[in-house]
Chains A and B, each alone.
Chain A
């Protein structure tokens, strides 16, 4: 993949979203098409130019792509549906990048669309007996992670609640976000408890939405007359899954994040200090503290202090979840990973009006999905 992307550079040339929102009666097709049409318009290309499409969705059902795309015109493009739970969108993006990098296609759509309610966890169908009905529930898994982290570092629950405060503040500046109100630390802490020290406002909301990006080769950018200055280059694409952990100190999820991120840094030829932006999976507030450490954005054990001194704020050392993240922007599942790519692209272009991180040129999009699986992508300014 590294060699392929060096030989045949891959770019994000168009981005589009349907705002993330609470569950509505709007059909998924309307959500998805708004995002795709916005991405096409942003790239300045016609639907007919798209040779292949990958659709990330976890809850819509079989053949979501073709049912939706026929309303754009039946051009005969290749359509593939992918599912990786929370990471469905970034697995669609990775497939699109590989298809362009390998030379199979020059113009590929990666999109995610979802509506809450139709998803079923495979882990609940494994035919095995668990000791508790909570064994496959993410809120419990991450509440246990939180308790362990807070205890180990001598921190109070407010330390992780500040993640929600920061990300809700960022989301309030994002017109595509599900939540558009800043929250105080007192509000976050006073919201109803879910599990352990996690309150409602430290857990991502249920919702729906869509996100789309147009992935292109250099040849297509020239041929279609796309504005090269607004195209953002993909420097790395990494995927992996959880390994068996025996240690006391590192959770399997944190180790998976560390491993996938280090691979992405190596592939991109960068280090953590080079990053201006990170969009990461904080479906639960604790994740942002644990993963910023795993990504080596700050030293081990200093995730909370790094956040508290503003290092991960917009305008700080490295803006983490400038979009509002999963807590503030929302987590409709299929679209989330593609939405991260759209946010980083927008920031690198300098078009994130009202929440622009100054001088943004290099960003990491990182998602995990049930199972667990991880995807990491590094994007860079191409001018």
Chain B
């Protein structure tokens, strides 16, 4: 299924992560103050980019006004990006019916919607890919 072009979608964005110089473990975000695996200082590691694409592990709809940046209802999910990095993300879907655990999601950069000033990276399902 071809994906519809969206007016404010940029190229597939990346997540900047810290590759530890001591244990080689990955930490997100790259600006973290130390390796989350072994505690090594960031200066001993290197920043790498990994694709903002991963496996959707779990998701829920936020119904109550808990945050000021995004209007409810909206959907958040836990995504495994590989190498031990699991992050909570904003999903750009009309509802949970579009989602299945194990499906692949990818990041898109939004610049015009409310809240995108602080949280521009949104995730959408990659059609017809179920990886688990």
| Docked-complex contact B64 and A194, CB < 8 angstroms | yes
Of chain A, the residue at the smallest CB distance from B87 is A131
Say whether, besides A132-B88, A133-B118, A134-B76, A192 and B29 are in contact (CB < 8 Å). no
| Docked-complex contact A132 and B89, CB < 8 angstroms | yes
How far, in angstroms, from A259 to B87 measured CA to CA in the complex?
A: 24
How many Å from the CB of B81 to the closest CB on chain A? 10
Task: Kindly list chain A residues whose C-beta atoms are within 8 Å of the C-beta of B70.
Answer: 133
Q: How many residues of A contact B (CB 8 A)?
A: 26
Of chain A, the residue at the smallest CB distance from B52 is A131
Contacts of B51-82 to chain A: CB distance below 8 A: 58-64, 66-70, 76, 78
Q: Is A160 close to B, CB under 8 A?
A: no
| Docked-complex contact A140 and B76, CB < 8 angstroms | yes
Of chain B, the residue at the smallest CB distance from A248 is B57
Q: Is B127 close to A, CB under 8 A?
A: no
| Docked-complex contact A135 and B88, CB < 8 angstroms | yes
Where chain B touches its partner, the secondary structure class is: loop
Q: Is B31 close to A, CB under 8 A?
A: yes
Q: Is B21 close to A, CB under 8 A?
A: no
Task: Kindly list chain A residues whose C-beta atoms are within 8 Å of the C-beta of B62.
Answer: 134, 140, 195
| Docked-complex contact A244 and B87, CB < 8 angstroms | no
Of chain A, the residue at the smallest CB distance from B36 is A244
Q: Give the interface segment out of A12-20, A141-149, A355-363.
A: A141-149
How far, in angstroms, from A196 to B119 measured CA to CA in the complex?
A: 21
Contacts of A243-282 to chain B: CB distance below 8 A: 244, 246
A133 contact from B36, B60, B63, B119, Cβ within 8 A = B119
Q: Is A139 close to B, CB under 8 A?
A: yes
Q: Is B90 close to A, CB under 8 A?
A: yes
| Docked-complex contact A139 and B66, CB < 8 angstroms | yes
How far, in angstroms, from A148 to B37 measured CA to CA in the complex?
A: 25
Q: Is A129 close to B, CB under 8 A?
A: yes
0/1 string, B24-41, CB within 8 A of A gives 1: 000001011000110000
- Most chain-B CB neighbours within 10 Å: which of A130, A131, A134, A193? A131
| Docked-complex contact A128 and B32, CB < 8 angstroms | yes
- Most chain-A CB neighbours within 10 Å: which of B64, B84, B118? B64
Of chain B, the residue at the smallest CB distance from A197 is B60
Q: Is A156 close to B, CB under 8 A?
A: no
Where chain A touches its partner, the secondary structure class is: loop
Q: Is A151 close to B, CB under 8 A?
A: yes
Of chain A, the residue at the smallest CB distance from B62 is A195
| Docked-complex contact B60 and A147, CB < 8 angstroms | yes
| Docked-complex contact A192 and B76, CB < 8 angstroms | no
How far, in angstroms, from A128 to B101 measured CA to CA in the complex?
A: 28
0/1 string, A105-142, CB within 8 A of B gives 1: 00000000000000000000001111111110101100
| Docked-complex contact A128 and B63, CB < 8 angstroms | no
Say whether, besides A147-B58, A195-B66, A129 and B29 are in contact (CB < 8 Å). yes
- Most chain-A CB neighbours within 10 Å: which of B37, B88, B121? B88
Interface residues of B (CB under 8 A from A): 29, 31-32, 36-37, 58-64, 66-70, 76, 78, 84, 87-90, 101, 115, 118-119, 121
> Closest 9 interchain pairs by CB?
A196-B60, A133-B67, A193-B63, A143-B60, A133-B69, A194-B64, A132-B90, A131-B89, A135-B88
Given contacts A131-B90, A133-B67, A140-B60, 11 further A-B contacts (CB under 8 A): A131-B121, A132-B89, A133-B115, A135-B88, A140-B62, A140-B76, A144-B59, A144-B78, A193-B64, A194-B63, A194-B64
Q: List 24 A-B contacts (CB under 8 A).
A: A128-B32, A131-B121, A132-B76, A132-B90, A133-B68, A133-B119, A134-B66, A134-B67, A139-B64, A140-B76, A143-B60, A144-B58, A144-B76, A147-B58, A147-B59, A151-B58, A193-B61, A193-B64, A194-B63, A195-B63, A195-B66, A196-B61, A197-B60, A244-B37
